[in-house]
Amino acid sequence: MNDEVATDVTEGQQARKWWSDADDMSLLTQVNIDLPFKQAKNTTKAWDAVVNKLRQVHGFGRIGLDGKKASSRFYQLLRVHRKFQESSKYLPGVEQDETGKIMLLDELIQLFDEASDERQAERATTAAKATEKEAAAGYVREQAMMRGRRKSNEGDDSTDSDLASRKRKAIFETQEREIALEHE
């Protein structure tokens, strides 16, 4: 009985450390179906949804899997496959085995690159719109500053205290006119 528990623990530890090819294929297939890397927002929720679907697959050996670990494994598989593609293109005359995993990774790399390009183009468009809006606001601001300078230059060279006394005088005159109108 103790031997069975010990083997279960070591198998569980091994399942946590190493991914089997079947687990990788399950992950890649589910990612190909859901495409969580295309999500602009809530990417962690999308990866968690992928993991929830994987847990329902009979024979999937990753018990403590969460969205972060699944995305990390997926990106690691992409990096390794890109290196494989780079090294294999320099081997002329050598025929490469096209396994299901390799074909799936080729397709996923293409989809991932397209999604990255779309996201980058969207960011560039957003940045261009923000720059355009800022330039328009800068023009309006500049025109307002020019108008303000013109008005102050048209008058005499008065100080701030002269301006305050003129305002008080104008208010006082307005009040006197109102009082005169009330008496009439």
Instruction: Please write the tens of the pLDDT for every residue from 148-175.
Output: 766 555 555 556 677 778 888 889 899 9
Q: Hey, how many other C-beta atoms are within 10 angstroms of the C-beta on 180? A: 9
Q: Which pTM was predicted?
A: 0.61
In angstroms, rounded to a whole number, what is the distance separating the alpha carbons of residues 175 and 173? 5
The yes-or-no verdict on residue 118 having pLDDT over 80 is yes
* 150 vs 136: CA distance, rounded Å: 21
The confidence band for 80, taking pLDDT boundaries of 50, 70 and 90, is: very high
Would you state the pLDDT for residue 5?
Answer: 41
Taking alpha carbons only, the member of 107, 129, 100 closest to residue 35 is 107
Torsion sign (Cα): 168, 169, 170, 172: positive
Query: Per residue in 22-46, pLDDT tens?
Result: 899 999 999 999 999 998 889 999 9
